[in-house]
Amino acid sequence: MHWYEKLNQYFPIEEMKSKEHMELLLEERSDIYHKDEGPHHVLIYVEFDEFVFVDYLFVSKDARGQGLGHQLINKLKAKEKAIILEVEPVNYEDTDSEKRLRFYAREGFSHASTIGYSRRSLATNEVNDMEILYWAPHDETEEKIYESMKKTYSLIHKYKDKELYGEPFDPVQEVLSRDKTRDEDILKELI
């Protein structure tokens, strides 16, 4: 099965970039946009000088619980840069969402409790709230994570968006917000 089909079957439509978008990024932004693929996984990530952003991480059901996800995360941790990713909030009717958050908590990721992220899907036109998780090897602040997310959204998510989708994604200032008064940490609740 093609790597895009694996991702497309696992991730909700509102979280997926089009195949054309991802292939264009892999071709035109190969300096920063990378794919690591094996028989049981697909890892798509962005690597900047100061951080790594995990765009998609898929481990097939038959390989879960065997340490493959841990190995892939450790491969990224070896870069000694902050690692940032987006996840859907826990949906107690979807056990995968809770398992996913538990996995990242075990891997040492923190919930960016001061960062709000609401993105409108061009596929469904629905606004979806997402959580930002991060691993900070050098005690990077949430302000730094916020700036890194703005960079990722602008350079990756919005890359040629109007050309690819017929309309642009919302501007970064409408999608990402920072609220220093939020202090809940959903990951700590799950450990």
Q: What is the pLDDT of residues 94-128, one digit of tens each?
A: 556 678 888 999 999 999 999 999 998 877 888 88
Domain parsing of the chain, residue ranges: 3-190
Which token pair is 93?
């009717």
pLDDT over 80 (residue 177): yes
Pick the CATH number of 3-190 from 3.30.70.260, 3.40.50.620, 3.40.630.30, 1.10.287.1770: 3.40.630.30
Q: pTM here?
A: 0.90
| Strand pairing report for 176-178 and 110-111 | unpaired
58 forms bridges with which residues in the sheet? Answer: 42
The arithmetic mean of pLDDT across residues 152-174, rounded, is 95
Distance between CA atoms of residues 42 and 29, nearest Å: 18
- What pLDDT score does 191 carry? 47
Distance between CA atoms of residues 51 and 133, nearest Å: 13
Q: Helix crossing, 3-10 with 19-28: angle to 10°? A: 130
pLDDT over 70 (residue 186): no
Burial grade of 165 (CB within 10 A; 0-12, 13-18, 19 or more): middle
Which token pair is 85?
């990713």
- What pLDDT score does 181 carry? 67
pLDDT over 50 (residue 26): yes
Instruction: Please tell me what DSSP assigns to residue 167.
Output: S
User: Which H helix or E strand runs over 119?
Assistant: strand 115-120
Distance between CA atoms of residues 175 and 173, nearest Å: 6
Among 19-23, 87-91, 92-96, 154-158, where is mean pLDDT lowest? 92-96
E-strand ranges in the chain read 33-38, 41-47, 51-59, 82-87, 110-111, 115-120, 127-135, 176-178
pLDDT over 90 (residue 189): no
